[in-house]
Structure 1
């Protein structure tokens, strides 16, 4: 098996006379003029010449020998032996390779981690929809989810009652921008979304497993307008009975984004029922805590009575 080519300056086939920096995994954007060897002038037509001319020729010859020796040492330094000091000096003085943002080896500035960008660990930030939600005690913001949606959930998982190979959580909240629909009013969006929200939480997961044994029945327990981040939205709440386990409560909340063109936003809530579940009142608490991005003082609040 061949060993990888070590980092260094190599001839750039796309630009004759130039060298390009190889970082050990990929070509970078850094180039330089290739080292040139001083060519010795050809011999004179006559065997003689002035003493001064002969001295100049000898000096030029000596310089050429030195340059050839240095160049050879640099080329040999790319082999298996220790790297010459001159090559290390070139690397330390060369500019950092351009950041490609793809996290490839050799990037001096890897892609930033959004979760490490100084965000408040107690706040879920939805940059796309321009809102924030408070993260309650005992909840977390996972770094990765199967659906790649902005999510917060209860800490600690348990084996799903309908699929022991899957992990379930007693409470989950996600935010999304609705797509593939012609309805635009918050009420129509919430009523359209609630069925899909229930199916995803308690019927089949994203890979088709019936993690709670499927939904046996459901009933609407609340619906009505609600004030969210200074906008008027609408929420629909179901009680879901499942084939296995205690079932739970699902809610779809739709409202216009408080920023930009006020595109619609949908927040889904899924809370397990039973003694190990999440208190249902937390749904209203979280709705009241939704704020426009960058504004911690705008009130949310339930616009109409929503009983459990």
Structure 2
């Protein structure tokens, strides 16, 4: 019985010189250059006495087949969209089957961060986030893209359910219409607040909705060596102490360099994590495999607001 490979970077079956993100069920459009190029094909050793003519013919035929396959693969990768904009991968003519799932391979996380208990690795977006005191890697969380939480749960004060005092979410921005970190953060903050304190994925209202929000601060920051922007709100809720929500946007340093949004949702009050953890986590975001790139709140890269 075949097993579906876990999410991760794998050799792109349509172009083996790159790696492509497999989300566990299908290929995405995220691609990146592999950390190490594939080893060249081994040259066949000649038989004693120079080898037979048949052996040389077989070797030349195999080499020719590899060359033709490489040319066809390159042509497939460089095929243009119907509207003439950009490039996309296409299936070979006469083939209606989708790109096959990866088999016999494994994801390729950076050796310097794989298994590191002090960070959370987000391979898709090419970043690591620090696990500061009072935080754990996300487990058994129904919300998509959650990378870390505060430990334990409590009974939500509104609709029945289990709540957490703090969550951090790392998402890829899929829209191609907007690339500005400032605009992305400003456009995302309302949705981030609603997801955290208005309605959950089951359409329940664990805090009976948001009654008021106010801007705490916003400004430009350097995140993993890239120019980013953040917006932070204080929200009041129908029941409970409310909380703090932040949207942090910056370009990824890997693959297609799609923008990344990191969302923070912290309960207010004594039970919630300190708001300063938002700044500490932001300062500790790094590109995967790079422990020396600085940036974060306090590392201003332009005029703030």
TM-score of Structure 1 vs Structure 2, range by shorter chain = 0.5 to 0.7
> Is 1:156 matched up with 2:190?
no
Structure 2: gaps (5+ residues): 1-100
> Is 1:169 matched up with 2:190?
no
* CA deviation string 1:181-221 (max 9, x = no partner): 62110000000100000000000011111011100010111
Q: What residue in structure 2 maps to residue 130 of structure 1?
A: 126
Q: What residue in structure 2 maps to residue 64 of structure 1?
A: none
Structure 1: gaps (5+ residues): 1-99, 103-108
Question: Which segment is superposed worse, 217-226 or 136-145?
Answer: 136-145
Q: Distance in 1 between matches of 2:178 and 2:114?
A: 37
Deviation at 1:156, TM superposition (A): 0.9
Contact 1:222 1:306 in 2 (8 A): no
Q: Distance in 1 between matches of 2:202 and 2:176?
A: 23
Deviation at 1:177, TM superposition (A): 0.4
* Pair 149,301 (structure 1): closer, same or farther in 2 beyond 3 Å: closer
Contact 2:146 2:167 in 1 (8 A): no
Of 133, 137, 146, which residue of structure 2 is paired with 1:141? 137
Task: Provide the aligned length of Structure 1 versus Structure 2.
Answer: 198
Runs of 4+ in structure 1 over 3 Å off: 303-307
Q: Distance in 2 between matches of 1:192 and 1:118?
A: 33
* Pair 299,269 (structure 1): closer, same or farther in 2 beyond 3 Å: same
Q: Distance in 2 between matches of 1:285 and 1:266?
A: 16
Of 194, 214, 232, which residue of structure 2 is paired with 1:237? 232
* Pair 306,180 (structure 1): closer, same or farther in 2 beyond 3 Å: closer
**1:151-230 alignment runs, 5 A limit:** 151-164=147-160, 166-180=161-175, 182-230=177-225
Q: CA RMSD in A?
A: 2.6
Q: TM-score under structure 1 normalisation?
A: 0.60
Q: Distance in 2 between matches of 1:156 and 1:144?
A: 11
Deviation at 1:137, TM superposition (A): 2.2
* CA deviation string 1:138-196 (max 9, x = no partner): 211123432331420000110111123x1111111010002246211000000010000
* CA deviation string 1:279-304 (max 9, x = no partner): 11111000000000001111123244
